[in-house]
Chains A and B, each alone.
Chain A
Amino acid sequence: MSWIDLAFYVLAGIAVVSGWRVFRTDSMVRASFLLLLSFLAVGAVMLLLGAVYLGVALFFMMAVEMLVMALFMVMFMMNPAGLNPMNMVHQPRVAAAAGVIAFAALAGMALVADFPERRPAAGTDVVRALGTELLGDSMLVFESAGVALLATMIGVVVLSARTGRFGPSDEGSCPPGLDPGGLPAGAPSGGEDGSGHGHHHHH
């Protein structure tokens, strides 16, 4: 067994065990970062497979994403640090069944599917190949991703931020009138009532 094989088994073990521990810990922070550890191990496996870009990119992405996940989990979950022991698992039977099915499907695919035999030439620069692809056939996908991400950003701001262009949203954020003191621009005829109602509701 070469050190690469050994490293693969160790990393795969870390990925699986820490993935399992995610559901056995009580602390949201530990759960988030155990998941991060699992992803880091997967990223390292990808490095072993020669995916030098995707592996490192996975470290990068997951670090930020799991951190943000931890922020939100701590923010919104009761007992975020698990000071009182609790069960992190909901609907365990359904979840277990779904997990087994998904695993079987993926593993089956890996075993059964007929993968094309196209060995890349030694010394292929995978990052360069990826870049060429992004500027070639996949350009439309790439640019649509940009638009989709813009939609995400706008959605995020609309849904989460209390602040607004025309004042805090819970106080009936409302554009100013076209003339001083007049009705808001573009408001439906009941616009004044609507904002008044929002105000009332708040108090």
Chain B
Amino acid sequence: MNEVLLPTLVVLSTLLAGAALVAVLDQAVAGMIAGRPVRGLLSATFARGMLLWLRPDSTTEHPDALLWRLAPAAYLVLAALGLAVVPWSADFVPVRLPTGVVLWGAVEALATVVIFLEGWAPNAPLPLLGGYRHVAAGLSYILVSMFVLIGVALPAESLSFDAVIDSQQDLWNVVRQPLGLPLFLVVGLGIGVWGPLRFADAADLAGGTTAETSGPRRLAWALGRGAMLVAFSAVAASAFFGGWLGPWLPGPMWLLLKMLLVLVLLVVIGRLLARMAPERFVGLAWLLLLPLSFVDLLWAGLLALYG
């Protein structure tokens, strides 16, 4: 029984705690940028979550109630699937899947579906625009992500994260494939609807996909979003920072520290960079990021053969 229960608990509690941490980090960075650090961050963040939990739900005149209910939960499920295939140490991998890298790709694609549904379901103009906007971005960054992750799979000769981490014993991929991490962070911003890629719930749409959502449903969406960022940070840490590898500390500690690093990066980027125009991002993704990811793959390939 423990074989099943322990991984489940680890994954879910990491997602929950991580989502809360993302909120705390975000408020801390926002306070610093605004020039007035927030006091009592932790309790303020919990109070915010609790307030959403206690406030009533709102709905629209004729929404697709089922999809609206399912979308936030599915977002969380996808985050859980993504985190589940990331190893915590040589022995402890919640789910040892030989095609973990591909599963993460599928998570990215399905996340776009889920975000679209969140925008579609309320049958209201602003959420609808947000959902469609996100699809433009989601369909553009997905290719970049595939190339970058194939780049890290090359030296590992495997599609499992175990092997990807193992291949970084000597040198982390962040050094070995210098283009990889910056490109992959763009994907993280997209899949977590964050910062410059915050298209779905953008401020100019009064919250876009979330403009009609209140109370616990809103809490669930925020949780899914935070959890997705956490899952992304775990994948990025494993693909570029050697995952659980590291001296002195036990493996899981290293993984958590590296995840924290990625999350801080994402949060700071998210607070400092303006949201791009969707059209510009599509152009940028196909004409700059995609060729760069070609270069990244070529570099990884040459290095794997002759490095």
Contact = CB atoms under 8 A, between A and B. Distances in A.
Best-surrounded residue of A33, A64, A68 (most CB of chain B within 10 A): A64
Interface string A81-93: 1010000000000
A1 to B, nearest CB: 18
B139 interface: yes
Contacts of B99: 52-53, 56, 127
A30 B64 contact: yes
B106 A60 contact: yes
B159 A64 contact: no
A66 interface: yes
18 contacts: A29-B117, A30-B64, A30-B67, A33-B117, A52-B98, A52-B99, A56-B106, A59-B106, A59-B109, A59-B110, A60-B105, A63-B113, A64-B142, A67-B112, A68-B139, A125-B98, A127-B99, A127-B158
A53 B142 contact: no
Contacts of B98: 52-53, 125, 127
A57 interface: yes
B135 interface: yes
Contact of B64 (A29, A56, A71, A127): A29
Interface residues of A, dominant DSSP = helix
Given A59-B103, A64-B109, 15 more contacts: A29-B67, A33-B113, A53-B159, A56-B97, A56-B103, A56-B106, A57-B102, A60-B102, A60-B105, A63-B109, A67-B135, A68-B139, A71-B135, A81-B64, A127-B159
Interface size class of B (residues with CB under 8 A): 20 to 34
B92 to A, nearest CB: 20
B172 interface: no
Contacts of A45: none
A38 interface: no
B287 to A, nearest CB: 14
A41 interface: no
A18 interface: no
A29 B132 CA distance: 13
Best-surrounded residue of A57, A63, A81, A83 (most CB of chain B within 10 A): A63
A158 B139 CA distance: 20
Interface in A123-165: 125, 127
Closest 6 CB pairs of A and B: A63-B109, A59-B106, A60-B106, A56-B102, A63-B110, A56-B99
Contacts of B139: 64, 67-68
Interface string A103-118: 0000000000000000
A52 B113 contact: no
B281 interface: no
Best-surrounded residue of A27, A36, A56, A59 (most CB of chain B within 10 A): A56
Interface in A26-66: 27, 29-30, 33, 36, 52-53, 56-57, 59-60, 63-64, 66
Contacts of A71: 135
B65 to A, nearest CB: 12
B184 interface: no
A29 B109 contact: no
Contacts of B110: 59, 63
A142 B100 CA distance: 24
Interface string B81-119: 000000000000000011100110110011011001100
A66 B112 CA distance: 11
